[in-house]
């Protein structure tokens, strides 16, 4: 096996740097870009393709290429771009002449020499990989190669399928904190999408995967986009290290400032005699239940430098109680977190066993074989029933290895937020953690001498039954970040209304005590705890005063 993953079978070839540079220039010259394809297809067809619905795109391409009637007239450049879209994104076969009309003879030679195109038995050319533009929120524009998806090839996906840029990988990219770091680790790199973004703020990135094919795709993508990523194609290893192996084995004994991972977290029924070759490597870690996620939550802190952080995605099982009711979803994740680890879990989705089985069987196109689908579906239900699993959660995980001299409380937060949140969420996460560190380090005396402000995105909502003199429910809503809602008491509502930076916490509490005729310190202590919660969750901010 080639040590640098540059010429593996059934993967793009990345040995010829000149050819890769020429390919990038050729596709750029044809406007094979995110914006170029959107303009060609139109917004609705383009958006449908992002949902893996290709029929509107096929119809539009047929219009441009004269296969369907159209009131429009299309230029030669539009037709050339349409051929590329049909070839790489829609999985259509083309004659050599059709492809040469779009790319020229030299361009077609590039595709075949780089193992991006192949000839079928009828002598037609078809794409060997999915090669599509990717445009990120930070302005990065790349060409990303991956294996052909379900709508581009018949049958069930190959077991060693290399996934392209999808919803999960974009979610992780939006979760990843973009602070400058020295060393970063992308565990389970796939086609390399996280590496591309990490290079913008990490001096060096190590990318690991259990699949040599995945590392071959990552290497190809890095070199194809070397200029955009600021890489020296002749010395890739100066910025990126590609390593083959499972979990943390390839980086044993090393530490990193940042770890990101979209691991193969899908819960899949295990079968007697099962081999690694029987598993979908891009989604199935080979462990029973949610073992892959629990293992990473437990072990990732061992490769984090003090103060180092990790962001990852995962599934977790929610067990049934003896009475048949669902247990609290955070019950299992809390048990995974070590005493020396800080953690923030945000559950974004909760599925029944039936919904979960349908999702992942459809994901690998296993529903195309009815007999296999029935058997696999039954295996899922049997597996969950045998282990008393009532639901499966999905969400985002943030971990940190504390600094030795960290002053504030260690963060252990488990939240369920299933509605839309700010995207990208990473800037909010970074600010929220910094704010948490600061406010939890305050003593009660320091808190009482602080001046507070209501965050700019916070609004108050009051509900009352008709004819009532006072509201029965008072809510604070945050319009940014996680867009939380918190239930207020009369006391905290009065306190928040006075947080304009003119009075200290202690002065406001004293005024409330006199106004509401508090006896003793109990109500004062309860209100102070509520204030701390509002501070920790960003509803209130500490005012900076000269």
Residue with tokens 């919803």: 167
- Mean pLDDT for the stretch of residues 156-181: 92
Q: In this structure, what DSSP letter does residue 326 have?
A: B
Please tell me the predicted confidence (pLDDT) of residue 368: 83
Write down the H helix ranges in 262-407: 291-299, 331-336, 353-363, 370-386
- The tens digit of pLDDT for each residue in 110-121 reads 999 999 999 988
What value, to the nearest 5°, has the Cα angle with vertex 196 and ends 174 and 206?
105
CB atoms within 10 A of CB 379: 16
Three-state DSSP at 185 gives strand
- The tens digit of pLDDT for each residue in 359-404 reads 999 887 888 888 989 999 999 999 999 999 999 999 999 999 998 7
204 and 182 in contact (C-beta within 8 Å)? yes
Residue with tokens 């067990």: 319
Please tell me the predicted confidence (pLDDT) of residue 1: 39
Go through the domains of the chain in sequence order and give each one's CATH number.
17-146 (no CATH), 167-420 (3.40.50.150), 442-542 (3.90.930)
Exposed, middle or buried: residue 213 (CB in 10 Å: 0-12, 13-18, 19+)? buried
How far apart (Å, rounded) are the C-alpha atoms in residues 142 and 420?
Answer: 27
Q: How many CA atoms lie within 13 A of 374 on its CB side?
A: 2
CA 55 to chain centroid, in Å, comes to: 27
**Token output for 8:** 């593996």
How far apart (Å, rounded) are the C-alpha atoms in residues 68 and 284?
Answer: 42
Q: Among 342-351, 375-384, 486-495, which range has the highest average pLDDT?
A: 342-351
- Mean pLDDT for the stretch of residues 58-77: 93
How far apart (Å, rounded) are the C-alpha atoms in residues 280 and 293?
Answer: 16
Cis-peptide into 424, omega within 30 deg = yes
């Amino acid at each position: 096996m080639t040590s640098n993953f540059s010429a593996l079978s059934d993967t793009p070839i990345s040995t010829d740097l000149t050819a890769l540079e020429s390919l990038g220039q050729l596709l750029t010259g044809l406007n094979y870009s995110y914006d170029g394809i959107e303009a060609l297809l139109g917004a609705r067809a383009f958006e449908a393709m992002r949902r893996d619905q290709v029929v509107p795109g096929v119809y539009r391409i047929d219009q441009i290429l004269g296969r369907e009637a159209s009131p429009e007239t299309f230029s030669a450049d539009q037709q050339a771009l349409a051929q590329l879209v049909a070839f790489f994104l829609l999985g259509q076969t083309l004659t050599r002449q059709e492809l040469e009309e779009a790319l020229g003879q030299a361009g077609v030679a590039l595709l075949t020499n780089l193992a991006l195109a192949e000839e079928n038995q009828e002598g037609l050319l078809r794409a060997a990989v999915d090669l599509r533009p990717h445009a990120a929120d930070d302005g990065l524009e790349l060409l990303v190669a991956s294996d052909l998806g379900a709508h581009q090839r018949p049958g069930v996906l190959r077991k060693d399928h290399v996934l392209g840029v999808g919803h999960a990988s974009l979610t992780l990219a939006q979760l990843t904190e973009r602070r400058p770091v020295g060393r970063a680790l992308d565990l389970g790199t796939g086609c390399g999408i996280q590496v591309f973004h990490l290079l913008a703020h990490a001096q060096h990135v190590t990318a690991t995967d259990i699949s040599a094919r995945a590392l071959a795709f990552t290497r190809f993508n890095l070199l194809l986009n070397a200029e955009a990523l600021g890489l020296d194609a002749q010395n890739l290893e100066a910025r990126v290290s590609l390593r083959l192996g499972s979990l943390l084995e390839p980086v044993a004994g090393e530490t990193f400032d940042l770890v990101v991972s979209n691991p193969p977290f899908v819960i899949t029924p295990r079968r007697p005699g099962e081999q690694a070759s029987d598993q979908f490597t891009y989604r199935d870690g080979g462990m029973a239940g949610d073992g892959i996620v629990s293992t990473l939550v437990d072990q990732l802190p061992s490769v984090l430098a003090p103060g180092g952080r990790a962001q990852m995605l995962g599934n977790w099982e929610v067990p049934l109680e003896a009475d048949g009711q669902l247990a609290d979803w955070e019950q299992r994740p809390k048990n995974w977190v070590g005493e020396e680890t800080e953690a923030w879990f945000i559950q974004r989705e909760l599925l029944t066993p039936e919904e979960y089985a349908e999702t992942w069987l459809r994901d690998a196109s296993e529903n195309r074989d009815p007999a296999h689908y029935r058997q696999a579906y039954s295996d899922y239900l049997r597996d969950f029933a045998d282990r008393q699993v009532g639901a499966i959660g999905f969400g985002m995980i943030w971990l940190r290895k504390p600094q030795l001299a960290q002053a504030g409380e260690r963060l252990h937060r488990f939240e369920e937020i299933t509605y839309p949140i700010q995207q990208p969420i990473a800037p909010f996460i970074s600010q929220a953690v910094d704010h948490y560190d600061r406010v939890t380090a305050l003593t009660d005396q320091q808190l009482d001498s602080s001046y507070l402000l209501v965050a700019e995105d916070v609004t108050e909502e009051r509900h009352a039954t008709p004819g009532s003199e006072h509201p029965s429910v008072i809510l604070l809503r945050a319009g940014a970040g996680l867009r939380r809602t918190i239930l207020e008491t009369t006391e905290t509502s009065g306190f928040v209304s006075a947080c304009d930076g003119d009075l200290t916490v202690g002065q406001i509490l004293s005024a409330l005590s006199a106004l509401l005729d508090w006896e003793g310190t109990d109500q004062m202590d309860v209100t102070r705890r509520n204030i701390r919660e509002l501070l920790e969750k960003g509803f209130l901010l500490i005012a900076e005063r000269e």
